[in-house]
Structure 1
């Protein structure tokens, strides 16, 4: 479950989420690195719940081809968010020709120092994501978040099934995510993926004025959507 603040983390945990991805600016950018203060606050809120917090480390919006300075910033951020209490990190880097950036990934995994590393939806821009799982497993990646290369994970069930099968052989968990709605959950779970990932958010109206981002409001985690997703997963498991 993707969340952006302490209240969202509490709501997701109470609604039955097993693992949280903490990020910032999700709606406008697809997610960026949150502040270390936010990481510490969420980690404190989840302590004792058994729900892990995995922090997105991404320095900017746009593509996933990063320069040396950008990789260095991400290495620093990986260390900082883990020091702040995160259980793992969510990262991704590609080469200009659309392959996993092995050098950048190695630096990020090393910075994680044995903590869980998830490779995010950068994999959806790789030409052969199933083959890419081998490189990710070899680099020490624990899990992968993917839509199967489609705009919505529900539109790539065959690819997700292939990814889940190969991930099972390699010991890499595959999480289905990307445009997921509650009614997608049973079909996604049936592909054999190890987890289903969504944001379960709604927008609260709030006018920040000309200096605060205008009247677009901000996103919050909807506890009813969290609960509905948990129920859909549990229903599928019982079928």
Structure 2
């Protein structure tokens, strides 16, 4: 087993035995603690975001990342760099914000960052993305699901592979879930593995993956090397006068996003059986 990623060895009739690495997405210290209580503190990547209940997650605070970073005995953390919800088209001030955030997390010593920038016509913003990736060196870099908003996945991949320093692409195959996008994901993985690109970029399927369907997804995408999932759910905060008053004043719905320990345990049981 790798010291950096949990590896599930899978076997299906007619398929060679392969391994699949796992990345879990969280937005709270409580979720990281729950994750550690179930699967220990070694062997998986963790994507740290804020506000997973709104638009796919934003840049987390330095305080949260510091707490999480101090919790584990190895470097698991990939940090979302996304200053706001909405489009992935960013102005000069927003790019400067992201550069400052990357510098802070790099100095903290995290494993990597997760980012993605587009142009108004739905293409990868190569100059801006290259600036961010250069600022992140020597960290790992994932290009996130902004990829799914691009208008041509082959062109988007070619643009990404031209930026030295990007290690993987997180994608649902331009679909709502990885299952809906399984055909494109298979094509994309084959395209990424073509030696003409001169370097390896890993394709990481994401969206809608859980214990009930991950084995089927593995059958649909036999060359899949990684999966990304949250195993999370919204949790209603304990009823109190403060919560009720906050809801009345428009400060949210009295809910937070948390790792679902039952869902995670079920998922881990499935991949443990892939031997």
| TM-score computed with the length of structure 1 as normaliser | 0.91
What per-residue deviation string (whole Å, max 9, x for no partner) do you get for residues 188-217 of structure 1?
233122211111112221236145724331
Residue 78 to residue 62, structure 1, CA distance change in 2 (3 Å): same
For residue 166 of structure 1, report the CA deviation from its aligned partner: 2.4
Match of 1:29 among 48, 55, 75: 55
Question: Structure 2 vs 1, CA of residues 81 and 154 (structure 1 numbering), >3 Å: closer, same or farther?
Answer: same
Note the alpha carbon deviations across 1:10-30, whole angstroms, 9 max, x for none: 322444461110000111231
Q: Distance in 2 between matches of 1:86 and 1:13?
A: 18
Structure 1 stretches lacking a partner, 5+ long: none
- Report how many residues are paired: 235
Instruction: Give me the whole-angstrom Cα distance separating, in 1, the residues matched to 2:91 and 2:147.
Output: 18
Higher RCO, Cα 8 Å, sep 6+: 2
Distance 2:207 2:102 in 1: 23
Q: Is the 8 A contact 2:69 2:75 kept in 1?
A: no
Q: 1:80 aligns with which of 104, 109, 114?
A: 104
Are the equivalent residues in 1 in contact too, given 2:27–2:49 (CA < 8 A)?
A: yes
Q: Counterpart of 2:15?
A: none
| 1: CA distance, partners of 2:181 / 2:114 | 22
Assess, with a 3 A threshold, how the Cα gap between structure 1 residues 78 and 228 changes in structure 2: closer, same or farther.
same
1:167 corresponding residue in structure 2: 192
Aligned residue in 1 for 2:224: 193
Change (3 A) 1:156 1:216: same
Equivalent-residue separation in structure 1 for 2:226 and 2:168 (angstroms): 10
Residue equivalent to 1:39 = 65
How far apart, CA to CA, are the structure 2 residues paired with 1:122 and 1:175? 13
Tell me by how many angstroms 1:219 deviates.
Answer: 1.1
Spell out the pairing of 1:188-227 with structure 2 (5 A cutoff).
188-190=217-219, 191=221, 192-206=223-237, 207=243, 209=246, 210-211=248-249, 213-227=251-265
> Are 2:54 and 1:54 aligned?
no
- Superposition pairs of residues 13-28 of structure 1, within 5 angstroms: 13-16=36-39, 18-28=44-54
More helix by share: 1
Matched, 1:99 2:123: yes
**Superposition CA RMSD, Å:** 1.8
Deviations 1:60-102 (A, max 9, x none): 0001011111111111111112222321000000001111000
> Any idea what SS the aligned residue of 2:104 has?
helix
Q: Does 1:149 align with 2:174?
A: yes
